[in-house]
Structure 1
Amino acid sequence: MSTTPNPYHGFRFPTAIINEAVWLYHCFSLSLREVEVILAARGIEVSYETIREWGLRFGRAFATTLKRRRPRPGDKWLLDEVFIRIRGKQHYLWRAIDQNSVVLDVLVRSRRNTKAAKRFFRKLLKGLRYAPRVIVTDKLKSYAAAKKDLKIGGEHRQSRYLNNACEVSLQPTRRRERHMRRFKSAKHAQRFLSTHSPIHNHFQLRRHLISATEYRAARTRAFSIWREVTGLALTA
């Protein structure tokens, strides 16, 4: 007999509805109120505030499990830092992907210096537990200084254009930032993006690089993993 506690215990809505709401919110550029309307069109009356609570309670857990379940990322990391404005003050979103555009991690900081770069490298290395073969960054000197201080091996390529793929992969985040009318605090930005990036990335299957048959098979696998991660497979 299983002793694993049911995370959905006490919720009046079925597991499938909760997971559908979290999936819609993080997989597409939808607001909470738009997700509320979509569910209402299906005969499900739930407020956007309830959907927000579902996202906070379950979204982070889903994202963490997806990160653990994903195949080992590539050995070429592309890093970039872009500014985001929070309550009128400029912050920086540090972000890393591998050569296959898999999002490795994100970090929101108020500075773009060596201390912040070291914090980001530690976060990456702790989560992935291996050093990359190649690190690609722009010409910000903080990367080289942090890499040297932390004694991270591998080749370091610095160029204004080599990490363009990282900048392009940031577009879904920028869309969400506009949709949410900017983040309310650095903590809010970190919490949301740490959840949004793994879930959204899980369903980005690089369709332009594979055939229709391969895409459908990859999509089926993605949904199968999602059902397992969210507990839908147990209730089916």
Structure 2
Amino acid sequence: MSTSLSYKGHRYPVEIINHCVWLYFRFPLSFREVEEMMLERGVVVSYETIRRWCAKFGQAYANQLRRRRARPGDKWYLDEVFIKINGTLHYLWRAVDQDGNVLDVLVQARRNAVAAKRFFRKL
């Protein structure tokens, strides 16, 4: 994905390494789940090898995924929702742009609108 990354000396082809690292960073999967998915495709690779690949190539992949994300709109709204977590009332604040994309989320045990606005100002 990046020209500065060197795949020299790796046992597996670049496509397999790319796919394993992409799966790990794109979806909420564990290293063992990625290992099982690759095993279903006929590729025997250990979760420890996938962990090393993610440590070596992961930052470049994560940066590229972040760049591909849709740009937020120019108008943002602060949305407040009441939710129950383990029977306790919490306050969920969401920063939403004009297209309905959720930009960030904050959960508070006590309602504090000033702290929520301060948190979302960093966006």
When Rg is computed on C-alpha atoms for both structures, the one with the higher figure is 2
The residue aligned with 1:14 is: 13
| Counterpart residue identity of residue 66, structure 1 | L
Q: 1:153-192 to 2 correspondence within 5 Å?
A: none
- Aligned equivalents of 1:96 and 1:62: distance in 2? 26
CA drift of 1:142 comes to: 2.0
Matched, 1:141 2:114: yes
Higher strand share: 2
Counterparts in 2 of 1:101 and 1:71: CA distance versus 1, 3 Å: closer
CA drift of 1:79 comes to: 6.5
Given that 1:77 and 1:96 are in contact with CA atoms closer than 8 Å, whether structure 2 keeps it comes out as: yes
Given that 1:25 and 1:31 are in contact with CA atoms closer than 8 Å, whether structure 2 keeps it comes out as: yes
- Aligned equivalents of 2:5 and 2:118: distance in 1? 46
Given that 1:73 and 1:102 are in contact with CA atoms closer than 8 Å, whether structure 2 keeps it comes out as: no
CA drift of 1:48 comes to: 0.5
- 1:115-159 Cα offsets, whole Å, 9 max, x none, are xxxxxxxxxxxxxxxxxxxxxxx84312445789x9xxxxxxxxx
The residue aligned with 1:64 is: 63
Q: 1:70-81 to 2 correspondence within 5 Å?
A: 70-77=69-76
Q: 1:206-221 to 2 correspondence within 5 Å?
A: none
Counterparts in 2 of 1:142 and 1:61: CA distance versus 1, 3 Å: same
Higher helix share: 1
Matched, 1:47 2:20: no
Counterparts in 2 of 1:75 and 1:142: CA distance versus 1, 3 Å: same
CA drift of 1:67 comes to: 2.5
| Counterpart residue identity of residue 11, structure 1 | H
Number of matched pairs = 102
| Counterpart residue identity of residue 32, structure 1 | F
Structure 1 residue ranges without an equivalent (≥5): 81-94, 107-111, 113-137, 151-236
RMSD over aligned Cα atoms: 3.7
CA drift of 1:16 comes to: 1.0
CA drift of 1:11 comes to: 1.9
Identical counterparts, % of pairs = 50
- 1:166-209 Cα offsets, whole Å, 9 max, x none, are xxxxxxxxxxxxxxxxxxxxxxxxxxxxxxxxxxxxxxxxxxxx
Structure 2 residue ranges without an equivalent (≥5): 80-93
Identify the structure with bigger relative contact order (alpha carbons < 8 Å, sequence gap 6+): 1
The residue aligned with 1:101 is: 101
For normalisation by structure 2, the TM-score amounts to: 0.56
For normalisation by structure 1, the TM-score amounts to: 0.33
Given that 2:20 and 2:34 are in contact with CA atoms closer than 8 Å, whether structure 1 keeps it comes out as: yes
